[in-house]
A and B are shown apart, each in its own frame.
Chain A
Amino acid sequence: MTFHQARWDEPPVWDLAPSADLEAPPTVPGIPEKLRRKAAVRWPELSELEVVRHYTRLSQMNFGIDTSPYPLGSCTMKYNPKVSELLARRPGAADVHPYQPEATVQGSLELTWRLERLLARITGLPEVSLQPAAGAHGEYAAMLMVRAYFRDRGELAERSEVLLPDTAHGTNPASAAMAGFTTREIRDKNGSVDLDELKHALSSKTACFMLTNPNTAGLFESEILEIAEAVHGAGALLYYDGANLNAILGVTHPGRMGFDVAHLNLHKTFSTPHGGGGPGAGVLAAGEKLGPYLPVPRVVKVGRKFRLDYDRPKSIGKIKTAYGNFGLDLRAFAYILSLGEEGLKHVSRRAVLNSNYAASRLGKLLPRPFRTLVKHEFVLSGAPLKEKGVRTLDLAKRLLDEGVHAPTVYFPALVEESLMVELPETESKRELDGYIAAFERAVTDTPENLRAAPRSLSVTRVDEVRAAREPLLSWKDLRAASAKAETQ
């Protein structure tokens, strides 16, 4: 092993300096006594250099796509182009308030409008809103639109059920449930939607079928046209979860496949950074049935001017303050401009090529549960590891010791001890071979070493069971715990 992460013995920020005196902060005239803060916010007073060192040290104990291949399936951890970071920080982008008069934000409005047109072409769905802040937020908004659509048709009381395959991301059933639908999972057949099961489940109660294509097993749902026909035949709508769009750019699109509405994750396919958990951007694209229900405002072009249009009587209204996550929209716009038509097609071709290459090599080390032709990601089963007394979790931790991130683990749940691997187009063959070699070293290592992993990171195996059983969720909890320990 040649990899060693930084291991700073860095205390929490509150242990770096005493907290400010807890005396009351200065008063603001007019604020009544009962609303005045009696003690200052308990937080340390540090010099700027101390703060910068603290967070720089923490950053050195963190993997990112800039430090390591990061093959989380369905997360599309591709390179985040530096030029996008540069542009998003321009004063013309960052120093602009959402409530400025339209005449002073024509650039932001035009960029939004042009990005919407580009995404409409990429998805084949003509009506686009950039408002949702993340993929799940887009799903949720779309489910609210589905509700509004059936309410207008007088069918809402009956159409109370959303169907989804058992391979669906957890956000899908959660979003449908939050929007007031009951959910029902359709069992798969060899990793794909079982069309007969679906037809059997569809009824006058069905509001929508939510589908990811290619799905989370990495398989393209080849019966998609039959699926769309069956769903529409039952009077229901078809929802596209765009988490896996990176596989099919320029080959097919949700519109052609028969979807009525789609969300896209700009932080996956369109290269905007994921920020260690967010922000994201969960653009919605809709066809003619659901287009009128998109959130307001919509951006429209009137002559040569761009305007915010609130005159959409069927719209569900707002799902967040202001508009979309403009900082990310701008990055995605720069990405699409850079690549153009051929570049975007090349993205998917190379992502799928990388994936199939890695799948064929890694498939020699662990079994692949489904058919061999995959799209941008694939699933392995770590079940054979059990023969030597270890699990997928141990393999994941051992991979970290190689200086590479682990795949998504234990999802999709239909595969025992699953690993979902996605190595996008920005990984070169050298990086792929490096990852495969690391994987081979990890999978063939001794059970002792696997169980003892990781050893090269800032901490060893983290006790997540203890974290959940004895929750310590803030500095306040830590103080209480140490006070309790002292009295014992």
Chain B
Amino acid sequence: MARWISEEPGEEAALLDALGISSTDALFADVPKKARIGRMGVGPAREEPEVVAEVDQLLERNRPLSKFASFLGGRVTSRYSPAAVDSIVSRSEFYSAYTPYQAEASQGMLRTLFEFQSLWVEMTGLDVANASLYDGASAAGESLLFCRRIHEGSRFLVPASLPWEERSVLENYASGPGLTVATVPYDDRTGRLDLDFVRDAVAKKDVFGMLADLPNGFGHIDEGVPELKSILGDIPLVVAADPLSLSVLEAPGNYGADVVVGEGQGFGIAPSFGGPLLGLFACRKEHVRSAPGRIVGATLDTEGRRAYALTLVTREQHIRRSKATSNICTNESLMALAFVVYATVVGPRGLARLQTTIAEKARTLASGLGAIDGLKSPRFDAPYLGDFTVELTRGSAEDFLDRLRRRKVLGGHSLKDPRPGATPGPDRILVGVPETATEKGIQKYVRAAQATVGAAGRSS
């Protein structure tokens, strides 16, 4: 068994002696007999090499992304992370620490989080970022509650193209205070938000906020987003932005966004079957006391040295309890470290280069697929930076993806809500092009798609 508990001869006896008891049984005398359990049934202990072998055996039943030509996109990406990032994240002074409640003992993590906050502020053009939330979707959920704290109303507008998972998360966050998530339709050709619909909704005076995502749930860049604020007026605008896209796209704060949230996983964090991820949140300074989550502030020590501490804590659950701005306690600090180290290693110009390279590869793939009879690619006539939507004119998305998989191509994921009872949508696939995609891999996808759609055509 593992050596994680000291078993020095006589040690436990000495502890028991000091307490004047002969067995640890006496320490559980306060647990009533009727509440006791027998065996839990978790099996025998294993030595370290056995554990390694058993976990490895399980992991062998996974086929990692490297075994495929992979084009999975969405909020979770498989971007390459320089080895230096994990080297820093692996330092146990960081990863084995708790929340920096004792500022003096935790300046390393506090300073890192301050740098992380600063970076998200620079990227978004807003004033204040928090020290992270769970993931992009829950950050969007928190932004909904935040908007309601700074503006009256009962409806929160979101694009109809929002991924179903995020929509579900938002509906949960809205349900507590009895708020409604309302859908803004999109133009069928471009996927763009229907701005007239937004105008009409605003005129009803019950909208307390709106979220627009860049790229949107179809992977495309909606040119109408910068116009939203002039329609919304003093109703807060939340932009859910992919951080890499902000290396080339205008900072949303500069066109009126009041909140910018995002999923930070693509910056130095492995996909790991979907977690841990990283929720990003920034807002304007005038609203900071309504913001959720931990915030690190700069101050001084008694000798006038620059020092950092968790601050504005009266917003938080451990002080304000049921009146807190959020219940969040544990966040994703270590992932915030990965984010800032990744961005600093790659550098601002490197990020922009990376984004333009990915966009170029995406255009090659999208037009390659677009030449195939049976596929509409890209489905929407709108710009894109790496993800885009393909629509099948015959056959099902699931079947198409399954056939691709047999040819060692992970061609994307279906945009359908898989829950029974969900409105059946068209057969659309979100394709994501990673930076590591090669010309060979792109051609492999195109050929596999051709063969697959051809086969589907014959069988139907």
Whether the Cβ atoms of B42 and A12 lie closer than 8 Å is: no
Please tell me if the beta carbons of A111 and B96 are within 8 angstroms of each other in the complex.
no
Q: A19-B348, A279-B275 in contact; A99/B51 too (CB < 8 A)?
A: no
Which one of A133, A278, A463 has the greatest number of beta carbons of chain B within 10 Å?
A278
Q: Flag if B129 contacts A322 (CB, 8 Å).
A: no
Given A41-B348, A55-B112, A62-B93, CB of A343 within 8 Å of CB of B107: no
- A40-B318 Cα distance, complex, nearest whole Å: 39
Q: Whole-angstrom distance between the alpha carbons of A222 and B68 in the complex?
A: 56
A35 interfacial contact with B, CB 8 Å:
yes
Tell me the smallest distance from the CB of A81 to a CB of chain B, in Å: 6
| Residue among B105, B131, B276, B363 with most chain A CB within 10 A | B105
A76 CB, nearest partner CB in chain B, Å: 10
**When the two chains form their complex, are residues B35 and A257 in contact, meaning their CB atoms are under 8 A apart?**
yes
**Contact assessment for A274 and B97 in the assembled complex, using a CB-CB cutoff below 8 Å:** yes
Interface presence of A337 (CB below 8 A): yes
Closest Cβ–Cβ distance, residue A38 to chain B (whole Å): 7
Contact indicator per residue, chain A 133-153, by CB within 8 Å of chain B (1) or not (0) = 111110111011001000000
Query: Given contacts A319-B172, A373-B27, is CB(A275)–CB(B334) below 8 Å?
Result: yes
A383 sits at the interface (CB 8 A): no
The answer on a CB contact under 8 Å between A278 and B132 is yes
A45 engages B302 (CB within 8 Å): no
How would residues 167 to 208 of chain A score, 1 for a CB under 8 Å from any chain B CB and 0 otherwise? 001110111111110110000000000000000000000000
Q: How far is the CA of A32 from the CA of B145 in the complex (A)?
A: 32
Given contacts A48-B82, A180-B175, contact A411 B318 (CB under 8 A): yes
Q: How far is the CA of A460 from the CA of B304 in the complex (A)?
A: 9
Q: Are B275 and A133 in contact (CB under 8 A)?
A: yes
Q: List, in ascending order, chain B residues with CB within 8 A of A83's CB.
A: 48, 51-52
Known A-B contacts A136-B329, A474-B118; the reply to A124 vs B37 at CB < 8 A is yes
Whether A42 contacts B297 by the Cβ 8 Å rule is no
Interface string of A36-74 (1 = CB under 8 A from B): 111011111110100110111011111111110010100
Q: Which residue of A lies closest to B40 (CB)?
A: A121
Complex partner residue of B122 from A46, A64, A473, A475, CB under 8 angstroms: A475
Q: Given the known inter-chain contacts A428-B6, A464-B299, please indicate yes or no for A474 contacting B121, CB distance below 8 A.
A: yes
Contact of A346 with B31 in the complex, beta carbons under 8 Å: no
Bound together, the chains give a CA A354 to CA B385 distance in angstroms of: 56
- Cβ of B189 within 8 Å of any chain A Cβ, yes or no, is no
Residues on B with beta carbons closer than 8 Å to the beta carbon of A356: 19, 27
C-beta contact mask, B84-120 vs A, less than 8 Å → 1, else 0? 1011101111111111111111111101111101110
Q: Mark B35-53, 1 if CB is under 8 A from A, else 0.
A: 1110111111110100110
Q: Is the CB of B114 within 8 A of A474?
A: yes
Which of A54, A60, A136, A143 is in CB contact (< 8 Å) with B328? A136
Tell me how far the C-beta of B234 lies from the nearest C-beta in chain A, rounded to whole angstroms: 22
Residue of B nearest to A349 (CB): B24
Could you tell me the distance between the alpha carbons of A466 and B333 in the complex, rounded to whole angstroms? 24
* Chain A neighbourhood of B122, CB < 8 A: 41-43, 475-476
Instruction: Name which residue of chain B comes closest to A151, CB basis.
Output: B175
Say whether B344 contacts A340, CB under 8 Å: no
In the assembled complex, the CB of A217 is this many whole angstroms from the nearest CB of chain B, namely: 12
Interchain CB contact under 8 A, A64 and B95: yes
Chain B proximity of A294: nearest CB distance (Å) = 13
A320 at the interface (CB under 8 A from B): yes
- Please state if B59 and A468 are interface contacts (CB–CB under 8 Å): no
Known: A63-B105, A353-B12. A316 touches B172 (CB 8 A): yes
Does B288 contact A94, Cβ atoms closer than 8 Å? no
> By the criterion CB–CB under 8 Å, are A463 and B301 in contact?
yes
> Residues of B contacting A326 with CB < 8 Å?
272-275
At the interface, yes or no: A301 with Cβ under 8 Å from chain B?
A: no
State which residues 256-279 of A face B: CB under 8 Å. 256-257, 265, 267, 271, 273-279
Q: Say yes or no: A278-B94 contact (C-beta < 8 A), given A28-B385, A72-B101, A338-B45.
A: no
**Is B206 part of the contact surface with A, judged by Cβ < 8 Å?**
no
The complex places the Cα of A425 from the Cα of B15 at a distance, in Å, of 12
B335 and A473 contacting across the interface, CB-CB below 8 Å:
no
For A94, what are the chain B residues with a Cβ–Cβ distance below 8 Å? Answer: 270-272
A276 and B29: CB pair below 8 A?
no
Q: Which of A63, A80, A90, A276 contacts B56 (CB 8 A)?
A: A90
Of all chain B residues, which has the CB nearest A23?
Answer: B349
Interface residues of B in 138-180 (CB under 8 A from A): 138, 145, 165-166, 168-169, 171-173, 175-178
Taking a contact as CB atoms under 8 Å apart, the answer to whether B107 and A353 are in contact is no
Q: Which of B256-274 contact A (CB under 8 A)?
A: 263, 270-274
Q: Which residues of A contact B86 (CB under 8 A)?
A: 89
B451 at the A interface (CB under 8 A): no
Are the C-beta atoms of A134 and B134 separated by less than 8 Å? yes
Report if A323 contacts B (CB, 8 A): yes
Q: Are A429 and B165 in contact (CB under 8 A)?
A: no
Question: Which segment of B352-360, B440-448, B452-460 sits at the interface?
Answer: B352-360
Q: Quick check: is B202 within 8 A (CB to CB) of the other chain? A: no
Interface status of A98 (Cβ within 8 A of chain B): yes
The answer to whether B95 touches A80 (Cβ under 8 A) is: yes
- B318–A170 contact, CB under 8 A? yes
In whole angstroms, what is the CA distance A67 to B438 when docked? 44
Contact (Cβ within 8 A) B6 A478: no
- Check A352–B109 contact: CB distance below 8 A: no
The yes or no answer to B247 lying at the interface (CB within 8 A) is yes
Contact B221 A35 (CB under 8 A): yes
Chain A residues with Cβ under 8 A from B129's Cβ? 473-474
User: Cβ of A327 < 8 Å from any Cβ of B?
Assistant: yes
Q: How far is the CA of A474 from the CA of B327 in the complex (A)?
A: 23
Chain A residues lying within 8 Å of B421, measured Cβ to Cβ, are 313
Given A41-B348, A70-B98, A279-B334, 7 other A-B residues pairs in contact with their CB atoms under 8 A: A32-B223, A41-B123, A252-B36, A311-B419, A337-B54, A460-B302, A463-B300
Listed by A's residue number, 24 A-B pairs whose Cβ atoms lie within 8 Å are A26-B352, A26-B353, A43-B347, A46-B345, A61-B108, A62-B108, A67-B92, A97-B410, A136-B327, A249-B40, A273-B334, A274-B96, A277-B334, A308-B418, A311-B419, A316-B172, A321-B76, A322-B76, A337-B51, A341-B41, A354-B15, A467-B297, A467-B299, A473-B297
Q: Which 6 A-B pairs have the closest CB atoms?
A: A322-B274, A275-B334, A92-B59, A277-B333, A62-B108, A98-B274
